Structure 1
């Protein structure tokens, strides 16, 4: 998935200073004690299928913009989404990265039940970071990586959701349309900690070096004038022992959807993954989808203890298929399908 250090654009940061400053070492855990309603029947999420989708993406090689593996992966995603009968759109764009590289990228949008007035967005990013700058082995810091959890697992969960929805007859479809929006060029950003010796050529330009695809989409909505009741950003949702907390920007901008999803996960027995723990904001694609008017939460793997905001595999060569766990993807995918069927 992802990237990032705990950093927000200045305008957003100013509004969050009253809420945070440094990671909250007194993270709270409070569950909703309201009596749960009976859950409606939802499709069964197939974790084996999601695992296979993750492995397929990794098999192309690192999905770094401008590479053959990146092009091949994007083409495969478009074909796979079309095979499910979804309305698929591509949004090509060009951008410059923090190190001055000019890249060719594309966002991929697929709509299930495009005619539905009520809509929910499932976001993710499909690219990989071009360097493992947070790898504990200094010799590997300039190596590319698989991005098995960071990117591929989120896309895989979304693909399996799309596959399951496509199998449902009209009489068993959810009451909302679903848009699967995969952003490109999310992970080629400047890390102030691991890349302090490198200049961020985008600094002061008004463009964040992270989340280039979501920034472009937010300014050029596709479909035009796009609206959704809420959005869910999936990011790093495939590693063994996945731990998902209630991130600050999610709580501020989309508390209703966040509570609904966390309480649904609890009813399904997944509270060991979806923790009732409040943590500080991070910069991720949801910052820009929220700015575009779509209340969005971020589901990402956050270490349960300690000061670190990301797991040990984050931006490291260890982010490979060896860490991918079907149980984590099942918890996320089943929770999301169930949530859609509660609308």
Structure 2
């Protein structure tokens, strides 16, 4: 996830030390009280978990979506066509980058706008690439990954949101425009825990090895001069037993939207997924969207107990369709759709 993965210690916003995929030097913060009472939720469309599951499986069927690969190109083309079929305004942002191991890649961010003329806007972020190696795997550390939860599930939730919203008559549309922004090359970063024997060639370059797509977008906004009331980064949101905590950078930069989403989830009966538990910051795409002026929170799978910051499937070959659960997709997707209708 996020780098899906990754995340190595990195100095980030407000001078906080950001955790990476190896958060052994941090401990989770204590949980606080639950959601406060809220008025009755307004009517919102139904999020279809079966459809989101099918979108996840479709991406996985392309094969690992590693930049420079045929599977990566084919999946990106499919996403663009699917978004256009829903009547969204679709833009592509191609870019080239060098990864930590010196590989030159061709990548693209994909942007799709629902109600593009609406003045008020909400951004839904996610990454659509997969890590080229399962370096956290106990056996197959150099094997490619399916990225079923880490990557595909977030794209699937966003695609289903786009599909559902596109079907609403004007009288049932939310009073905000929604921008679905899919970052590329997020997961080809250097993990200093699992890859100690490899040199990070981006050290000292001013470029973080993770989140290459969001770093590029933040410096070259598409649409130009883009603004949104807030953004939500989805990352690893499809695994059975998914657990989403209130991550540190999210609390600091997007506390209002975070509270709205967690309270909405509670009213929908999804507090088993959206936990009122505060945890430390991580490095993820939201670091750079916040730097671009979009108050962004991160929804990612964080184990509810213990000191690990990422689930066992993170950057492992076990991140395949066998762990994807419609209940988790439903909890995230319905909460996200409903939140668009809550002021």
TM-score strictly above 0.5:
yes
Establish whether residue 91 from structure 1 lines up as the match of residue 87 from structure 2: no
Q: Which residue of 1 aligns with 2:193?
A: 193
Are 1:107 and 2:127 counterparts? no
**Distance of 2:155 and 2:77 partners within structure 1:** 14
Superposed, 1:148-167 pairs within 5 Å as 148-167=148-167
Distance in 2 between the 1:18 and 1:144 partners? Answer: 26
C-alpha distance after superposition, 1:53-111 (max 9, x if no partner): 00000000000000000000000000000000000000000000000000000000000
Residue 221 of structure 1 corresponds to 221
Whether 1:57 aligns to 2:43 is no
Contact 1:264 1:339 in 2 (8 A): yes
Report the 3-state secondary structure (helix = DSSP H, G, I; strand = E; otherwise coil) of the residue aligned with 2:239: coil
Q: Distance in 1 between matches of 2:265 and 2:16?
A: 28
Q: Secondary structure at the match of 1:103?
A: strand
How far the C-alpha of 1:235 sits from its partner, in A, is 0.1
- Match of residue 130, structure 1, among 129, 132, 135: 132
Distance 1:269 1:88 in 2: 34
- In the alignment, the residues of structure 1 paired with residue 136 and residue 120 of structure 2 have an alpha-carbon distance, to the nearest angstrom, of 41
Structure 1 gaps, min length 5: none
CA shift at 1:342, angstroms? 1.1
1:303–1:309 Cα contact (<8 Å) kept: yes
Deviation of 1:27 after TM superposition, in Å, equals 2.2
CA distance in 1, matches of 2:169, 2:9: 44
In structure 2, how many angstroms separate the alpha carbons of the residues matched to 1:110 and 1:14? Answer: 31
Distance 1:305 1:6, change over 3 A: farther
> Residues 1-343 of structure 1: matches in 2 within 5 Å?
1=1, 2-8=4-10, 10=11, 12=12, 15-16=15-16, 22-33=25-36, 35-137=37-139, 140-343=140-343
Q: Structure 1 CA distance, aligned partners of 2:18 and 2:59?
A: 41
Query: Partner of 1:180: helix, strand, or coil?
Result: strand
Q: What secondary structure sits across from 2:156 in the alignment?
A: helix
* Distance (Å, rounded) in 1 between the aligned partners of 2:77 and 2:25: 41
Other structure's SS at 1:105 match:
strand
What do the CA deviations read for 1:288-319 (whole angstroms, capped 9, x no partner)? 00000000000000011111110000000000
**TM superposition shift of 1:26:** 4.3
| Distance (whole Å) between structure 1 residues aligned to residue 18 and residue 78 of structure 2 | 44
* Equivalent pair of 2:34/2:276 in contact (CA under 8 Å): yes
Could you tell me how far apart the structure 2 residues matched to 1:18 and 1:305 are?
20
Equivalent residues, number: 338
> Aligned Cα RMSD in Å?
1.6
Task: Please state how far the C-alpha of 1:334 moved relative to its aligned partner.
Answer: 0.2
Deviation, structure 1 residue 136: 1.3
Displacement of 1:24: 2.9
Q: Which runs of 5+ in 2 are unaligned?
A: none
TM-score (norm 1): 0.96
Secondary structure, in 3 states, of the residue corresponding to 2:214? helix
Q: Could you tell me how far 1:6 is from its partner in structure 2?
A: 4.5
Q: Secondary structure at the match of 2:79?
A: helix
